[in-house]
Amino acid sequence: MSDNVFPVPAEVASRALADNAKYLEMYRKSVDDPAGFWGEHGKRIDWIKPFSKVKNTSYDPHNVSIKWFEDGTLNVSANCIDRHLETRGDQPAIIWEGDDPADHKVITYKDLHREVCTFANVLLAHGVKKGDRVTIYLPMIPEAAYAMLACARIGAVHSIVFGGFSPDSLAQRIADCKSTCLITADEGLRGGRTVPLKLNADRAAEKAPVDTMIVVKRTGGAVAMTGGRDVWYHEEAAKVSAENTPAEMSAEDPLFILYTSGSTGSPKGVLHTSGGYLVYASMTHQYVFDYHEGDIYWCTADVGWVTGHSYIVYGPLANGATTLMFEGIPTYPNAGRFWDVVDKHKVNIFYTAPTAIRSLMGAGDEHVTRTSRESLRLLGSVGEPINPEAWMWYYNVVGDKRCPIVDTWWQTETGGILITPLPGATPLKPGSATRPFFGVQPAVVDAEGNILDGATEGNLVILDSWPGQMRTVYGDHDRFVQTYFSTYKGMYFTGDGCRRDADGYYWITGRVDDVINVSGHRMGTAEVESALVAHPKVSEAAVVGYPHDIKGQGIYAYVTLMAGEEPSEALRKELVAHVRKEIGPIASPDLIQFAPGLPKTRSGKIMRRILRKIAEDSFENLGDTSTLADPAVVDDLIENRQNRA
Ligand code: 6R9
């Protein structure tokens, strides 16, 4: 790994919210006296009734309970909108850039207020009440943000499902949290192609019925509307008032559910609540991106992922920022789109994922260098480890060696960024997420849970709670405790491996469980396996990740067919199509190997370690295979491996 160090440039330090001395001082206070520290910073948002209690958290596996600011009341939407009206009503809140470069729209805080109040009133008119779950399956259009904030305004709990998920995946998520209302659009538009959202929503609703489906008109494409259930958003909006009084919510009332993949079972409904989440999202947004009044900030994520929740909508809007929302893809109409948009809207802070950087890096520097990018001041990375080559390209070519890169490590579960440089405080090392944010106490443990000191490598845990932490798995608190607090007693287990160097910098090495990270999207190998075995010709499947130049990890599936079925190219295509249909395009296997047998122990456990090695094309050192029931299967697997250098 690279141990190049990039010191903090003097001009970055001079304007920054925190230099190194301030970081160290604030960090010390945050861990020595969490209640004092967060009691002070909790005031950064507006409370209807101020909190008197700050922290009430327990990681004891017999009684995991996480509460922050528990006796305070607030409204998240009022914090993101109403409180800014007086000072910045005419300032852009959202700049929306459409898929078509000719399409953009500026939404001021006043506009946002009107739109969100209207949406809230439409929800109320359709019987959505405080505490009800609303599933949102929308493309990256302003209505996605309006719908989220409208739910927050009336106290409904949103559950966003990424538009790339299949009808089955959508149905599973609607059913799990018992949503009665689904918000979708006629079609999405990405890279010039339409996505049949309403059609998918109809198919999902066959399996998981909803009372109301609210349909936003995006493309005007023909869709079927079911009488008594489906309504057009624009027609309903015309019937209601544009004023709405925000509901008074308790700090620990749920704000949203977001499904994410784990190593086993179906996706988990990660539950975040209102007060602590907003304090943490807004504070990290301000400090990590060194956000200053008037900055134009752009996070390229989709609101279907947690990054879109915390760093397109809630964090930036709570801070009164201008947040850019992009409907399209990085390569349409060409691989210079990101930089054209940066120039068009004079973006100062730009936050994207390593997979996008790697794919643009492959498209050639001229797409970047033909643009000015002089407005850029800071770059960010999230979603997976960034390899030093991609980091250097991002730094040298995109940022013209002027812009610090914040490599931010966090998870759906953490609500906000936990390990990251602060631009004015932290010398950078390409590939390292560097140091913990305020209030975050990371530790590295060995397999037995012993905390390791100094420069070391092991599994990453967090020793105490921070305000943005998830509170439970929706409807399954036992699963929450099992998944995160049972591996290492009294600690939050992240599922990631990491190294800590002699400077105390953290280097995340990737997942140590059966979760893979494909283009920054989390995928449980078990989910892909269960989709594969649902195909009538498949008897068994084992899925592992393998290194992929662009995606970070690719999906490698070993498939054993039913007796009498013959492997063929056609069947391979059929299986890929089948997984896309069952889960969505993001789960498409990159490589499928037909395997007459899988390496199993005598007790029938698949030895994934061996499958991972073969998928990596590094099978010289397979380790001990003597416990295998039939060691000969390994030779066949090696012989027919699909990923050859
Ligand atoms: C925010 C988000 C979480 C998993 C996480 C880790 C990986 C995210 C990273 C990173 C190395 C970074 N991850 N950021 N790995 N460096 N800067 O991505 O949430 O979709 O839940 O994924 O992503 O493995 O555990 P989520």
In three-state secondary structure terms, 85 is helix
Question: Angle at CA 413, nearest 5°, toward 490 and 98?
Answer: 170
Give the chain's residues under pLDDT 50.
Answer: 1-2
Tokens of 174: 């609607």
Q: Give 462's Cβ-side CA count (13 Å radius).
A: 26
Atom of ligand 1 nearest to the CA of 419: 17
Which residues, in sequence order, are CB contacts of 346 under 8 Å at separation 6+?
296, 375
Q: Of 17, 4, 26, 7, which is closest to residue 404 (Cα–Cα)? A: 7
Specify the pLDDT at position 3.
Answer: 67
Counting ligand 1 atoms within 8 A of each CB, the residue from 311, 312, 352, 411 with the most, and so the one to mutate, is 411
Q: Of 539, 537, 449, which is closest to residue 485 (Cα–Cα)? A: 449
Residue 411 CA to ligand 1 centre (angstroms): 5
Q: What is the pLDDT of residues 46-71, one digit of tens each?
A: 999 999 999 999 999 999 999 999 99
Q: Residue 513: CB within 6 Å of ligand 1?
A: no
Specify the pLDDT at position 36.
Answer: 98
CB 435 within 8 Å of CB 421? yes
Q: Residue 408: CB within 6 Å of ligand 1?
A: yes
Residue 382 CA to ligand 1 centre (angstroms): 7
State the Cα–Cα distance between residues 130 and 247, nearest whole angstrom. Answer: 8
Residue 409 CA to ligand 1 centre (angstroms): 6
State the Cα–Cα distance between residues 291 and 545, nearest whole angstrom. Answer: 36
Atom of ligand 1 nearest to the CA of 307: 1
State the Cα–Cα distance between residues 587 and 578, nearest whole angstrom. Answer: 10
Q: Residue 511: CB within 6 Å of ligand 1?
A: yes
Q: What is the pLDDT of residues 537-583, one digit of tens each?
A: 999 999 999 999 999 999 999 999 999 999 999 999 999 999 999 99
Tell me if the bond preceding 333 is cis, omega within 30° of 0.
yes
Looking at the DSSP bridge assignments, the partners of residue 444 are: 452, 460
Which is it for the CA torsion 142, 347, 280, 494, positive or negative? positive
Specify the pLDDT at position 603.
Answer: 78
State the Cα–Cα distance between residues 292 and 300, nearest whole angstrom. Answer: 19
Counting ligand 1 atoms within 8 A of each CB, the residue from 418, 517, 551 with the most, and so the one to mutate, is 517
State the Cα–Cα distance between residues 359 and 365, nearest whole angstrom. Answer: 11
CB 516 within 8 Å of CB 557? no
Q: Residue 382: CB within 6 Å of ligand 1?
A: yes
State the Cα–Cα distance between residues 91 and 86, nearest whole angstrom. Answer: 11
State the Cα–Cα distance between residues 31 and 37, nearest whole angstrom. Answer: 8
- 638-645: which pairs have CB atoms within 8 A and are 24 or more residues apart? 638/614, 640/593, 640/594, 640/595, 641/593, 641/614, 641/615, 641/617, 642/556, 642/591, 642/592, 642/593, 642/615, 643/546, 643/556, 643/591, 643/615, 643/616, 643/617, 644/617, 645/617
ipTM of the assembly? 1.00
CB 601 within 8 Å of CB 569? no
Residue nearest atom 15 of ligand 1, based on CA coordinates: 384
Q: Which secondary-structure segment (H or E) carries 118? A: helix 109-125
Task: Give the chain's length.
Answer: 645
Q: Residue 410: CB within 6 Å of ligand 1?
A: yes
Q: Residue 495: CB within 6 Å of ligand 1?
A: yes
Atom of ligand 1 nearest to the CA of 522: 20
Q: How far is residue 388 CA from its own chain's centroid?
A: 22
Specify the pLDDT at position 1.
Answer: 43
Specify the pLDDT at position 619.
Answer: 84
Q: Residue 433: CB within 6 Å of ligand 1?
A: yes
Q: Which secondary-structure segment (H or E) carries 609? A: helix 608-615
Residue found by looking up tokens 């905390």 in the block: 451
Q: Residue 311: CB within 6 Å of ligand 1?
A: no
Q: Residue 306: CB within 6 Å of ligand 1?
A: yes
CB 99 within 8 Å of CB 328? yes
Residue found by looking up tokens 């659009």 in the block: 185
Q: Of 101, 99, 117, which is closest to residue 109 (Cα–Cα)? A: 117
Specify the pLDDT at position 141.
Answer: 98
State the Cα–Cα distance between residues 511 and 495, nearest whole angstrom. Answer: 6
CB 13 within 8 Å of CB 438? no
CB 291 within 8 Å of CB 406? no
Atom of ligand 1 nearest to the CA of 510: 24
171 C-beta neighbours (distance < 10 Å), count:
22
CB 421 within 8 Å of CB 439? no
Helices (H) and strands (E) in the chain, counts: 22, 31
Looking at the DSSP bridge assignments, the partners of residue 137 are: 184
Strand order of the β-sheet with 296-299 is: 104-108, 92-97, 322-326, 296-299, 349-352, 378-382, 405-408
Counting ligand 1 atoms within 8 A of each CB, the residue from 508, 511, 553 with the most, and so the one to mutate, is 508
Q: What is the pTM of this model?
A: 0.95
State the Cα–Cα distance between residues 88 and 157, nearest whole angstrom. Answer: 28
CB 585 within 8 Å of CB 164? yes
Residue found by looking up tokens 């249909």 in the block: 581
